[in-house]
Amino acid sequence: MTLPPPTSSDPRSSDSSPSDTPSAALTIRGLRKRYPGANHDALAGVDLDVGMGQVTAVVGASGCGKTTLLRLVAGLEVPDEGSIRVGGEEVASDDVWVQPEKRGVGMVFQEFALFPHLTVHDNVAYGLRGMSRTKRTERVMEMLRLNGLEDYADRHPHQLSGGQQQRVALARALAPKPRLFLLDEPFSNMDLPLKVRLQIELASLIRRSEVPTLIVVHDLEDVVTLADRVVILKEGTVVREGSIARLCQDPGDTYVAGFFERLRSPTGNRFITESAE
């Protein structure tokens, strides 16, 4: 069986993609980016949607452009071409450019980027503005409780474990109730037990807060319990997208199939059956 190499213009094996209705949380069309001095596009015309309340995972090998995609959505890079809409509002196109601080996007960085000079409380309170002090403290404590951090409010980041730091980063990004939640490789550099625990916590946190989420990982295994939809990125283009179960049955090519390799292991299969149900 030979399949033609899929390209971004291919009709994708997608289950009914949430189109760019005004209510879509994120709509990306024809996004292109090349860094100065590079000899190929970091992103070569990407279309992507995240529906309201959906968790979409972008999966790809390192260097495929997934972090660039996230930074473009956040407004930390400027696209060469294409448009980005967040919550129905155009934030980047040929004639529109909204600064990152005005996009209402929450992001958790790979290395958390907690402010080392502020306490846990003040880190979480950082993005809360336009509310009274009591309201703000209430909201911070609510977020800390939600993340099991209420006893750590007065600590500084360096006094916390890696897992606790990540939960502070999550609480900080979600506290201002963003329109879209971005996660950059949330499980890199973690040992397995911690990783599994955080995956479960993160899944329940995202479901409870109902924030549409775009999560970027290099290992599909990291998002089987999390993602409603998976987008496979290769060399700056989307090669495949759909539910995990769907892609597992019909990966299309060896690149995509490679991401499922580990899931086919005895333990992995259990995940697939669960998420396919």
Partner 1 sequence: MASTLLPGYIGNTLFLMVGAGVVALTVGAGAAWLVALCDFPGRRIFRWALVLPLAVPAWMAAYVYAAIADVTGPVQQIVRMVVPGAQDGFFYWNVMRIEVVAVLFGLVLFPYVYLPARALLEQRAGPALEAARLLGDGPLGVLRRVALPLARPALAGGVALVLMEVLNDYGAVKYYGVPTFTTGIFRAWFTLGDLDSAVRLAAILMFVVFVLLAAERWQRGTAKYHGVGGKGGAARYRLRGWGAAAAVAFCALPLLLGFVIPVVQLVAWGLRTAPEMVDGRFVRLTLNSLGLAGAAGLLAVAIAVPLAFATRLDRTPILRSTARVALLGYSVPGAVIAVGVLTTALTVDRLLFGGESLVLAGTVGALIFAYVVRFLAVAFLPVESGLEKIGDTLTSASRTLGASPLRTLFRIELPLLRGSLVAAATLVVIDVLKELPLTLILRPFNLDTLATRSFQLATDEQVAQSAPAALLIIASASIVVAVLHRSLDRPTSTP
Minimum Å gap between C-beta 101 and partner 1 is 5
Instruction: Report the C-alpha gap between 272 and 277 in whole angstroms.
Output: 8
Alpha helices for the chain (secondary structure H): 66-74, 120-125, 133-146, 162-174, 192-209, 244-249, 254-260, 266-276
Alpha helices for 126-215 (secondary structure H): 133-146, 162-174, 192-209
Q: Which is nearer to partner 1, 6 or 176 (CB)?
A: 176
Residue 18, number of CB atoms within 10 A of its CB: 18
Please report, as ranges, the residues that interact with partner 1 according to CB under 8 A. 71, 74-78, 99-103, 105-107, 109, 111-117, 126-127, 129, 156-158, 172-173, 176
Q: Which is nearer to partner 1, 112 or 255 (CB)?
A: 112
Q: Which residues contact 64 (CB under 8 A, 6 or more apart)?
A: 233, 234, 235, 236
Minimum Å gap between C-beta 109 and partner 1 is 5
Helix and strand element counts for the chain (H, E): 8, 10
Minimum Å gap between C-beta 253 and partner 1 is 33
Q: Which is nearer to partner 1, 43 or 230 (CB)?
A: 43
Minimum Å gap between C-beta 235 and partner 1 is 23
Q: Which is nearer to partner 1, 107 or 247 (CB)?
A: 107
Q: Which is nearer to partner 1, 117 or 133 (CB)?
A: 117
Minimum Å gap between C-beta 212 and partner 1 is 16
Identify whether the C-beta of residue 120 lies closer than 8 Å to the C-beta of residue 155.
yes
Q: Which residues contact 119 (CB under 8 A, 6 or more apart)?
A: 153, 154, 155, 156
